């Protein structure tokens, strides 16, 4: 069990990552707020508690790997990498500029990014390849993959799911950001994928379902997944798209929305209120 003071520290980190999202998105330019903020707690746990990653040794063969299969949420990974000190803070303001270090979707030019993603459905296959290679090398490193619920309609990931179970891969943990909304509406209205837990267990995976903004539950689930030998684990996280911003929560308009000056100020006020309560 994670001590309360550590939980608080990670909650403050998650809040800082949300501030960083605002800094990157700014006013008048589209930015993926919704699917980024639903991952803030997970990113805080992975980068600031769980993963073996050192900014000075980003190519260490035994580092843990994180593949953001839902690559459009790159901003939240950039926020975490920035807070980890992997690149200067000034880069946040240059996000999505030509020749900048931080592209619109994950790219290998960014220190700490492990895979090019953005075309949905591919991250699990990439992660499986990494996990198999690490196993061959007898490395203690783990691979983490983050997928979206809309992304579950991509066929390629189910092929990777079957293969991971077939090869008894247990150094791979997948996360499903079950925020129930995708780019243009509710996932259930666009492409129904019921019983995701049963689907994944039917494909041979260990399934753990948690509240995805609860830091203690995220830590416990990742540790249970790590302890289980002989099969891959998926942690299905019940989350809220746009979490932390009242106007964006569950609202597809903020999948890749544009802030007006007024809403932007409101977003900061809402984070300041959360900060006062932490």
Ligand X SMILES: Cc1ncc(C[n+]2csc(CCOP(=O)(O)OP(=O)(O)O)c2C)c(N)n1
- Cβ closest to ligand X, residue 24 vs residue 53: 24
Q: Smallest distance from the beta carbon of 247 to ligand X, in angstroms?
A: 16
Question: What is the spatial distance between Cα 144 and Cα 64, in angstroms, rounded to a whole number?
Answer: 8
By CB under 6 A, tell whether 119 contacts ligand X: yes
**Longest alpha-carbon distance in the chain:** 54
Report, in this order, helix, strand and coil percent for the chain, each rounded to 5.
45, 10, 40
Report the residue from 10, 13, 15, 35 that binds ligand X according to the rule CB under 6 A. Answer: 35
Q: Rounded to 5 degrees, what are φ and ψ at 85?
A: 85, 20
Question: What is the spatial distance between Cα 101 and Cα 213, in angstroms, rounded to a whole number?
Answer: 29
What are the residues whose beta carbons fall under 8 Å from the beta carbon of 113, sequence distance 6 or more? 77, 81, 106, 107
- The stretch among 13-21, 181-189, 221-229, 259-267 that binds ligand X (CB under 6 A) is 181-189
By CB under 6 A, tell whether 117 contacts ligand X: no
Report the residue from 149, 174, 175, 234 that binds ligand X according to the rule CB under 6 A. Answer: 149
By CB under 6 A, tell whether 73 contacts ligand X: yes
Q: How many residues line the site for ligand X (CB under 6 A)?
A: 21
Q: Rounded to 5 degrees, what are φ and ψ at 110?
A: -85, 125
Q: Smallest distance from the beta carbon of 55 to ligand X, in angstroms?
A: 27
Q: Smallest distance from the beta carbon of 246 to ligand X, in angstroms?
A: 18
Question: What is the spatial distance between Cα 48 and Cα 32, in angstroms, rounded to a whole number?
Answer: 22
Question: What is the spatial distance between Cα 10 and Cα 13, in angstroms, rounded to a whole number?
Answer: 5
- Cβ closest to ligand X, residue 166 vs residue 184: 184
- Cβ closest to ligand X, residue 71 vs residue 112: 71
Residues of the shown chain interacting with ligand X in the complex, contacts defined by CB under 6 A: 34-35, 38, 70, 72-73, 118-121, 148-151, 177, 179, 181-183, 187, 241
């Amino acid at each position: 069990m994670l001590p309360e003071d550590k939980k608080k520290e990670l909650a403050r980190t998650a809040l800082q990552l949300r501030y960083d999202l605002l800094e990157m998105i700014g006013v008048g330019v589209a930015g993926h707020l919704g699917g980024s903020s639903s991952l803030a707690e997970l990113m805080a746990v992975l980068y600031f508690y769980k993963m073996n990653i050192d900014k000075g040794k980003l190519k260490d063969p035994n580092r843990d790997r994180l593949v953001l299969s839902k690559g459009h949420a790159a901003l939240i990974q950039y926020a975490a990498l920035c807070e980890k000190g992997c690149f200067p803070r000034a880069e946040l303001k240059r996000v999505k500029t030509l020749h900048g270090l931080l592209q619109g979707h994950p790219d290998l030019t960014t220190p700490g990014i492990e895979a090019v993603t953005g075309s949905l459905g591919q991250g699990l296959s990439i992660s499986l390849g990494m996990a198999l290679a690490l196993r061959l090398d007898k490395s203690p490193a783990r691979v983490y993959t983050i997928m979206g619920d809309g992304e579950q309609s991509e066929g390629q990931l189910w092929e990777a799911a079957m293969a991971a179970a077939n090869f008894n891969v247990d150094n791979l943990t997948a996360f499903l950001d079950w925020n129930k909304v995708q780019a243009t509406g509710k996932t259930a209205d666009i492409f129904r994928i019921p019983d995701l837990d049963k689907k994944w267990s039917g494909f041979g995976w260990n399934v753990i379902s948690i509240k995805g903004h609860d830091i203690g539950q995220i830590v416990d689930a990742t540790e249970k997944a790590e302890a289980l030998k002989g099969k891959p684990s998926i942690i299905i996280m019940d989350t809220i798209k746009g979490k932390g911003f009242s106007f964006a929560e569950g609202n597809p308009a903020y999948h890749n929305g544009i802030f007006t000056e007024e809403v932007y100020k409101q977003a900061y006020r809402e984070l300041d209120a959360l900060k006062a309560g932490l």
